[in-house]
């Protein structure tokens, strides 16, 4: 299976499909349905259920709540899974830790080994989160990577990079912007982005 | 000092170019693999996410480099389904041949 790499570097996450691998997933899916492991309807429901998780309606809601409810914020930082379940949301099956940004410390999340991500709160990870470049570089030169995302941090602000695992996921809690004291929880949630909760944006 | 060679998935700290931030639409095929693996997990065929990750980490460097992200998931899911005796390797291979012929 010789492939000519001389003209361009390999892009491990977006190669053209090869024959065996091209049909393996479809073959496996058909056989699992025939064996009765799950039905076509369950597959459709699962796709819809994964699609329904959106950072703006899930993660951002948790962040906004923590901005207006000091008791919730304390519980969230102490035991995120329990605090999130308490407000009727699904924190996911892995242990979740919420990382509080402060004027002194900025947090950013990566999974250097694969793509572990708080999917119950942020949905599917963006392609760049799974790509070689982000995973390789953010642990070595986080400030340079954050600058590429348009986030320039003050020299004196500490950057902490958190490497996720299958068992432990992270969600960044951005700082509440100044001058938002009059906003309702749903309006505050509108200020929070996916990138802010990964830590590659201010909020 | 004998430094163990790092596995292909272990990317932290290695040199790499700029991050490609362009949004990627997720193709239906990848959504289906994602859902299939999640169903295998909720039905108890995959015992936990660490099992999926262990399978991905066991891929050869060639496989890891050449496969797409969700293709790696599908390969490991197939290995696990064979190990749990839900399907046999022969059944999988026969179905792959059938699908490939149908598509050509």
Condensed to tens digits (0 to 9), the pLDDT of residues B12-60 reads 888 899 999 998 888 999 999 999 999 999 999 999 888 998 899 899 8
Dist. CA A78–CA A100, nearest whole Å: 11
Number of domains making up chain B: 1
Task: Tally A–B CB contacts below 8 A.
Answer: 170
pLDDT-derived band at A19, boundaries 50, 70, 90: low
DSSP A178: T
The structure tokens listed for A102 are 């402060």
Asked if the structure places residue B50 within a domain, the reply is yes
Whether B56 is covered by a domain: the verdict is yes
**A positions 3-22 inside 8 Å of B (CB):** 3, 10, 12-15, 17-22
Q: What is the pLDDT of residue B12?
A: 84
Residue A73 confidence (pLDDT): 98
**Minimum Cα–Cα distance from A39: chain B residue:** B39
Q: Give the pair of three-digit tokens for residue B71.
A: 């293709």
What is the value of pTM for the model shown?
Answer: 0.85
Question: How far apart, in Å, do the first and last CA atoms of chain A sit?
Answer: 46
Q: CB-CB: which of B29, B35, B87 is closest to A35?
A: B87
Residues 6+ apart with CB under 8 A from B38: A46, A50
- Report yes or no on B15 lying in a domain: no
For residues A76 and A62, give the distance between their C-alpha atoms in angstroms, rounded to a whole number: 9
Q: Residue A200: closest CA among chain B residues belongs to which residue?
A: B21
Tell which A residues from 54 to 113 touch B, by Cβ distance under 8 Å: 93-94, 110, 112-113
Distance CA B72, CA B60 (A): 11
> Which tens digits make up the pLDDT trace of A146-193?
999 999 999 999 999 999 988 899 999 999 999 999 999 999 999 999
- Calpha distance A18→A32 (Å, rounded): 22
pLDDT higher than threshold 80 for residue A99: yes
**Residue B6 belongs to some domain of the structure:** no
Confidence band of A9 (pLDDT split at 50, 70, 90): very low
Question: Does A23 sit within 8 Å of B99, measured CB to CB?
Answer: yes
Q: Which of B43, B57, B67 sits opposite A37 (nearest CB)?
A: B43
Spatial distance between the Cα atoms of B57 and A120, rounded to a whole number of angstroms:
24
Using a CB-CB distance cutoff of 8 angstroms, which residues of chain B are in contact with residue A42? 39
CA distance A175 to A131: 27
Q: Tell which A residues from 149 to 168 touch B, by Cβ distance under 8 Å.
A: 149, 163, 166-167
**Contact (CB<8Å) B31/A47:** yes
Whether B37 is in a domain gets the answer: yes
* Per-residue model confidence as pLDDT tens digits over B91-102: 999 999 999 999
Verify whether the Cβ–Cβ distance A132 to B50 is below 8 Å. no
Is B68 within a domain? yes
**Mean pLDDT within A85-109:** 96
> What gap in Å lies between CA B97 and CA B92, rounded to an integer?
9
Confirm whether A186 is a catalytic residue.
no
Q: Where is pLDDT greater, at B63 or A39?
A: A39
Pick from A13, A26, A46: CB nearest B38 = A46
Domain that holds residue B39: 28-103
Domains of chain A: 20-51 (no CATH), 59-198 (3.90.330.10)
CA B19, chain centre distance (Å): 23
Q: What pLDDT does A17 receive?
A: 53
Residue B74 maps to a domain: yes
Residue A164 annotated among the catalytic residues of the structure: no
Subunit contact B10:A14, Cβ cutoff 8 A: no
Q: Is the pLDDT of residue A7 over 50?
A: no
- Whether the CB-CB separation of A130 and A203 falls below 8 Å is answered with no
Angle between helices B28-42 and B49-57 (to 10 degrees): 120
Q: Is residue B9 part of a domain?
A: no
Does residue A114 carry a catalytic annotation?
yes
CATH number at residue B40: 1.10.472.20
């Amino acid at each position: 299976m010789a492939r000519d790499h001389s003209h361009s570097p390999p892009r491990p996450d977006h190669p053209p499909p090869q024959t065996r691998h091209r049909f393996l997933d479809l073959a496996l899916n058909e056989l699992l349905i025939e064996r009765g492991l799950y039905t076509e309807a369950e597959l459709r429901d699962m796709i819809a259920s994964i699609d329904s998780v959106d950072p703006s309606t899930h993660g951002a809601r948790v962040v906004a709540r923590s901005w207006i409810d000091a008791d919730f914020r304390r519980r969230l930082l102490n035991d995120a899974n329990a605090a999130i379940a308490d407000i009727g949301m699904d924190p996911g099956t892995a242990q979740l830790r919420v990382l509080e940004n402060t004027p002194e410390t900025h947090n950013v999340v990566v999974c250097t080994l694969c793509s572990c991500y708080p999917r119950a709160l942020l949905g599917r990870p963006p392609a760049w989160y799974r790509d070689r470049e982000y995973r390789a570089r953010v642990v070595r030169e986080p400030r340079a990577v954050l600058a590429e995302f348009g986030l320039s941090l003050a020299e004196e602000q500490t950057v902490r990079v958190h490497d996720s695992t299958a068992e432990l996921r992270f969600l960044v809690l951005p700082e509440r912007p100044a001058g938002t004291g009059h906003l309702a929880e749903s309006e505050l949630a509108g200020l929070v982005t996916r990138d802010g909760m990964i830590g590659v944006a201010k909020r | 000092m004998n430094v163990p060679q790092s596995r292909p998935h272990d990317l932290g700290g290695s040199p790499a170019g700029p991050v490609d931030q362009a949004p990627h639409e997720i193709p239906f095929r990848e959504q289906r693999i994602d859902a299939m693996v999640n169903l295998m997990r909720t039905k108890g065929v995959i015992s936990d996410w660490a099992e999926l990750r262990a399978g991905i980490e066991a891929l050869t460097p060639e496989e890891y480099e050449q496969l797409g992200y969700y293709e790696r998931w599908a390969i490991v899911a197939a290995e696990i389904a064979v190990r749990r005796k839900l399907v046999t390797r022969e059944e999988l291979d026969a179905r792959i041949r059938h699908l490939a012929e149908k598509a050509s």
